[in-house]
A = this chain, B = another copy of it.
Amino acid sequence: MPTPLLTNLSRCAVHTQTTKPWSLAQCIDVYREAGITGISVWRDVIAPVGAAEAGRMLRDAGMTVPALVRGGFFAAADATARAAALDENRRCIDEAREVGAEMVVLVVGAVPGMPLAEARKQVTEGIAGVLGHAEGAGVKLAIEPLHPMYAADRSCINRMAEARRVCEQLQNPLVGIAVDVYHVWWDPDLEAEIALAGRQKTLFAFHVCDWRVNTRNLLTDRGLMGDGCIDIPTIRGWVERAGFDGFNEVEVFSEQYWAMDQREYLGRITRAYLTHV
């Protein structure tokens, strides 16, 4: 049976990077006007005001913050760089606590030429290294598997299976997975891995956008839901049957959409959310 479409925006969140031209204040104001109460906050919109002030703004507006985006990049060629990555991730965790984010999304990193298995080992050690800090702050860490086209330099974790293996090694209730349809829609194991993540209590986040059939750029040509070929309602059905009841987070990087009037674009986002998620 097809998954019924969503009938309201109560579980809709938008990533600030989706409306990149806007400041945090603009995002908060216009998302609220549009009836969106979830916002995942990227570090670039926090920087100008600071995390404490950002947290006040978000709380005053009654926004819920699923995630601070993004930490990670643990894999590195030398120990000094790996230690610096741990420090940076501790700062991310502190910021997440200050803005009231439930989790930090981790883009785990990769080093061109380093075997991916070695990079995954470094990533596991890196997450282990900041877990105490995350526990102190009460902030979750969500490993986001990235599409294999980012395996060279952005992420050595390209399927849910590898994210799961890190979770299984670390066995900590604060370590889980962010499922982004853009990265994993093609994976033949996706349905089974989502169900398994549900049983393992590691299904922390669900991100939506679309894969444009003629993708023009590897980084900044994501589609809005409905622009592409991903059957998002089916994947949302899997995620919900696995027990996930958090936000459906809209995360679109698109030069095309960033060039639009962002209010008009937000209208498109809410319509796309109600017709294609």
What residues make up the interface of A, taking CB atoms closer than 8 Å to B?
112-113, 115-117, 147-149, 151-153, 158-159, 161-162, 185-188, 211, 213, 215, 218, 228-229, 231
Q: A158-B186, A159-B188 are in contact. Are A152 and B115 (CB under 8 A)?
A: no
Instruction: Say which residue of B148, B162, B231 sits within 8 Å of A149 (CB atoms).
Output: B148
Q: Is the CB of B152 within 8 A of A229?
A: yes
Nearest CB of chain B from residue A104's CB, rounded to whole Å = 24
Q: How far is the CA of A113 from the CA of B213 in the complex (A)?
A: 10
Given contacts A158-B186, A161-B188, A186-B158, contact A152 B213 (CB under 8 A): yes
Give the copy number. 2
**A-B pairs with beta carbons under 8 Å apart, 9 shown:** A112-B213, A115-B231, A116-B186, A116-B188, A148-B148, A149-B149, A151-B186, A152-B215, A215-B218
Set of chain B residues within 8 Å of A158, measured between Cβ atoms? 186, 188
Contacts of A186 in B (CB 8 A): 116, 148, 151, 158
Chain B residues lying within 8 Å of A116, measured Cβ to Cβ, are 186, 188
Q: Closest approach, in angstroms, between the C-beta of A176 and any C-beta of chain B?
A: 20
The CA-CA distance from A149 to B162 in the complex, in Å, is 19
Report yes or no: B148 in contact with A162, Cβ–Cβ below 8 A. no
Which 5 A-B residue pairings sit nearest by Cβ, starting from the closest? A151-B186, A112-B229, A148-B186, A152-B229, A152-B213
Bound state CA distance, A215 and B188, in angstroms? Answer: 25
Residues from chain B with a CB closer than 8 A to the CB of A229 are 112-113, 152-153
Given contacts A148-B148, A152-B228, 19 further A-B contacts (CB under 8 A): A112-B213, A112-B228, A113-B229, A113-B231, A116-B188, A147-B149, A148-B149, A149-B149, A151-B185, A152-B211, A152-B213, A153-B213, A153-B229, A158-B186, A158-B188, A159-B188, A161-B188, A162-B188, A215-B218
